[in-house]
């Protein structure tokens, strides 16, 4: 009703005045909700599609490096599209184009395997993987990738609060990523299958369209701004762009390095990769805002101390091998370094007109970190040195304001430090000094440097860092006789306590007693000792009368020495480096002595076995549960059905499931019950042999009928197990966290 105190014209003036104000107040809510949802969907679709395709493409290195390359490339393409769109298209054309791309992406939902798609083992795995990901999630992922910079660019033209500084929206974007990161393993996988999650993703994508339309509408109705006006901004120098790039590279690379270091030293603790990634995302949330405690000189000082601490832990000064306490310090140091880097990025942000090029540069820096750690480092380095290299870069960045380094200072310092440090390391090695003498050498080296490099101090600081690290790193104890890297981590062969061990991280893949070298038939040891469950199977009548034997997971090949004349043995191994080590008689002699002609089928065992329809095994051993992880696609109902189909009518299936964290027997019992198979378990709580080379193990045995393994059952060591009634693990739905042993994470 019109107030009697106002004219109709005055009332209409009030309405038009209030409308823009109401719109401005709602803009932050709509834009924040939209960018939050977009980031959540982006982080959901990656693990979702990996879960969908894993059973058909396997987990071979070529697959996952290609998948990572795909996601990183599309992310950069999305950011470039946002940048070019904001720079060369009017705002209205941007909105129309982006909504058209959203509508096009709807045609690729829900995410699923293309109908009839099947891996061709004879073709290029990389090209097939790229094609599969492009067809499956390429369009939705590309659209989601572009949203973070594009939505911020729109907000800068919305007239909303802080429109001239829209970077706070990036914090909301990373909060959405963080929520999705935690929600997928903790909630989605627990309660829903992949198909249901894909439908939920599709619903979210449709809701996102409403958010995009609403956000775009708030800009679309405003007077159209010319392209010249929208792109006007402070000119950017190459130095500034490189600075952004390096600041983005350091946290990305360090996150992966910390994950690898903890996995190698402490073990593949469940969800260990989530903690660094979650903290990485959290640093964006707490730094890309004006309201934060993480700023100023104190943050820089904390980052400097954290960098030095992390460098010492990575370099292993004094022979440091991370335990839980040291790992906790490393994670805390990583958080402080990443927080400093991302806050510095925020403070170095350009005006809104250059927002998109800022995010393009950040995406290149983040991708460079992933490329360096995941692809280049395993090719270039034997040890996990990428963390040290990244921390040296971080050290220079954090101390830059104090040191005021120039390229000349850096070059002189590197020359002095490398020369002096290597000299001291050489002296330590030549004299075979104990590690306790290394600090004396380091102090002496610093004293010499102080005399040589008093001026400029800048060069001396760089040299001092190197001369402190190099001797301790190179002259430390090393009892390895072989070390190399692969996609799956650091592989080492070493002699210890009268045995030769083969390790990957904290997992011992196998061992051979040194006194057994030179024998025509060395005795299997460790988990494969004759007194152990697998040794019992292989030495039983069932194992002796087998005509064909298959071993999934080669290790050092210890089981090979149970082979009998006339038997046909086949090994399956996903990591070519494992096969290389196992077949070299300089390292281990099981294969060379007992089955020199047995083939190793390289690749994901499930994918390879799927194509070997003519092979039928009397004994098939699944020994692929390494590094305390669960290769889910080798454990599902469909996987067990495949193994059953690869057995002869009287064949026996054996799973080696020794694991600190997961009770893998639970899903196996459910699958066996569903498939009508008989299943037994031998879980040893105490050694069955006094042989020091013996290790207790946990093994499951499956057969079509108890009569087929009656000779083994007579021992009384194998106990029948029944399903606990829990949900079946299928390719569509499996939840590893549901089978965690009580207190497993704290073991």
pLDDT reported for residue 162: 86
- Residues 384 and 267 grouped into a single domain: yes
Which of 403, 418, 435 finishes a domain? Answer: 403
| CATH value at residue 201 | 1.20.1250
Q: Is residue 571 part of a domain?
A: yes
Name the nearest CA neighbour of 140 among 100, 115, 174, 106: 106
Q: Rounded to whole angstroms, how far apart are CA atoms 151 and 547?
A: 64
- Residues 378 and 467 grouped into a single domain: no
Q: Is residue 413 part of a domain?
A: yes
Q: What total number of domains does the chain contain?
A: 4
Name the nearest CA neighbour of 358 among 689, 86, 101: 86
- Residues 335 and 417 grouped into a single domain: no
Residue numbers of the domain that contains 88:
24-232
Length of the chain: 747
pLDDT reported for residue 349: 92
Q: Is residue 496 part of a domain?
A: no
Which of 373, 403, 433 finishes a domain? Answer: 403
In the numeric block, the tokens 């197990």 are attached to 721
Q: Rounded to whole angstroms, how far apart are CA atoms 702 and 644?
A: 9
- Residues 369 and 474 grouped into a single domain: no
* Contact between 57 and 129 (Cβ < 8 Å): yes
* Contact between 127 and 92 (Cβ < 8 Å): no
First to last CA, the chain: 72
Cα 168 to the center of its chain, rounded Å: 28
Which of 359, 388, 403 finishes a domain? Answer: 403
- Residues 392 and 410 grouped into a single domain: no
Which DSSP helix (H) or strand (E) runs through 618? strand 617-622
- Residues 222 and 328 grouped into a single domain: no
- Residues 652 and 710 grouped into a single domain: yes
| CATH value at residue 729 | 3.40.50.150
pLDDT reported for residue 366: 92
Q: Is residue 668 part of a domain?
A: yes
- Residues 451 and 541 grouped into a single domain: no
Q: Rounded to whole angstroms, how far apart are CA atoms 231 and 352?
A: 9
Segments of the chain with pLDDT less than 70: 1-25, 61, 121, 223-233, 267-271, 315-321, 402-479, 505-506, 626-629, 743-747
Contacts of 45 (CB under 8 A, 6+ apart): 111, 137, 140, 141, 144, 201
- Residues 712 and 574 grouped into a single domain: yes
Classified as helix, coil or strand, 148 is helix
């Amino acid at each position: 009703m019109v107030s009697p105190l106002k004219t109709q014209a005055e009332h209409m003036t009030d309405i038009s005045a209030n409308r823009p104000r109401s719109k401005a107040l709602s803009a932050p809510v709509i834009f924040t909700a939209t960018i939050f949802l977009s980031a959540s969907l982006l982080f959901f679709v990656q693990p979702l599609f990996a879960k969908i395709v894993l059973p058909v493409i396997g987990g071979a290195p070529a697959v996952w490096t290609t998948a990572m390359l795909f996601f990183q490339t599309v992310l950069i393409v999305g950011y470039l599209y946002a940048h070019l769109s904001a720079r060369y298209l009017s705002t209205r054309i941007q909105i129309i184009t982006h909504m058209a791309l959203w509508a096009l992406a709807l045609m690729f939902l829900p995410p699923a395997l293309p109908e009839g798609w099947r891996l061709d083992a004879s073709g290029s795995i990389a090209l097939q993987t790229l094609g599969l990901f492009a067809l499956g999630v390429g369009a939705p992922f590309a659209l989601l990738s572009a949203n973070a910079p594009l939505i911020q660019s729109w907000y800068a033209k919305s007239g909303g609060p802080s429109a001239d500084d829209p970077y706070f929206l990036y914090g909301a974007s990373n909060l959405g990523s963080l929520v999705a990161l935690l929600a997928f393993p903790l909630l989605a996988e627990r309660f829903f299958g992949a198909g249901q999650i894909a439908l939920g993703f599709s619903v979210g994508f449709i809701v996102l369209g409403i958010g995009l339309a609403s956000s775009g509408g708030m800009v679309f109705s405003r007077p159209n701004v010319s392209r010249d006006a929208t792109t006007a901004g402070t000119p950017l120098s190459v130095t500034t762009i490189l600075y952004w790039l390096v600041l983005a590279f350091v946290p990305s690379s360090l996150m992966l390095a910390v994950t690898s270091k903890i996995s190698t030293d402490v073990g593949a603790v469940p969800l260990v990769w989530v903690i660094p990634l979650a903290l990485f995302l959290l640093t964006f949330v707490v730094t890309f805002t004006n309201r934060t405690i993480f700023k100023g000189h104190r943050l820089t000082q904390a980052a400097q101390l954290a960098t030095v601490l992390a460098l010492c832990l990575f370099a292993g000064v004094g022979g440091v091998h991370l335990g839980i306490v040291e790992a906790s310090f490393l994670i805390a140091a990583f958080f402080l370094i990443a927080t400093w880097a991302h806050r510095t990025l925020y403070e170095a942000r350009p005006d809104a007109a250059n927002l998109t090029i800022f995010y393009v540069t950040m995406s290149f820096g983040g991708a460079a970190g992933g490329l360096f750690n995941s692809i280049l480092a395993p090719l270039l380095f034997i040890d996990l040195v990428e963390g040290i290299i990244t921390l040296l870069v971080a050290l220079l960045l954090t101390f830059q304001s104090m040191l005021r380094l120039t390229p000349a200072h850096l070059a002189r310092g590197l020359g002095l430090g490398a020369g002096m440090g290597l000299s001291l390391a050489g002296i330590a090695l030549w004299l075979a000094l104990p590690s306790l003498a290394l600090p004396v050498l380091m102090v002496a080296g610093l004293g010499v440097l102080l005399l040589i490099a008093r001026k400029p101090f800048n060069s001396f600081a760089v040299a001092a860092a190197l001369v402190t690290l190099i001797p301790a790193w190179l002259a430390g104890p090393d009892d390895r006789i072989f070390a190399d890297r692969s996609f799956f981590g650091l592989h080492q062969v070493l002699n210890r306590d009268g045995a030769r061990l083969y390790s990957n991280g904290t997992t011992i893949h196998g061992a051979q007693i040194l006194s057994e070298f030179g024998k025509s038939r060395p005795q299997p040891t460790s988990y494969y000792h004759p007194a152990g469950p697998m040794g019992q199977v292989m030495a039983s009548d069932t194992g002796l009368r087998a005509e064909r034997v298959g071993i999934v997971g080669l290790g050092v090949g210890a089981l090979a020495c149970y082979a009998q004349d006339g038997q046909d043995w086949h090994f399956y191994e996903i990591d070519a480096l494992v096969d290389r080590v196992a077949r070299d008689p300089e390292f281990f002699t099981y294969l060379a002595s007992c089955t020199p002609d047995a083939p190793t089928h390289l690749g994901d065992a499930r994918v390879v076995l799927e194509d070997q329809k003519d092979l039928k095994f009397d004994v098939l051993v699944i020994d692929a549960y390494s590094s305390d992880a669960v290769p889910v696609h080798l454990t599902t109902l469909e996987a067990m059905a495949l193994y059953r189909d690869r057995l002869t009518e009287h064949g026996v299936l054996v799973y080696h499931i020794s694991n600190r964290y997961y009770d893998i027997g639970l899903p196996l019992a459910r699958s066996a019950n569903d498939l009508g198979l008989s299943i037994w378990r031998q879980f040893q709580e105490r050694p069955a042999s006094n042989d020091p080379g013996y290790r207790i193990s946990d093994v499951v045995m499956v057969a079509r009928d108890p009569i087929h393994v009656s000779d083994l059952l007579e021992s009384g060591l194998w106990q029948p197990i029944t399903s606990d009634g829990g949900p079946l693990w299928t390719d569509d739905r499996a939840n590893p966290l549901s089978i965690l042993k009580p207190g497993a994470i704290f073991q």
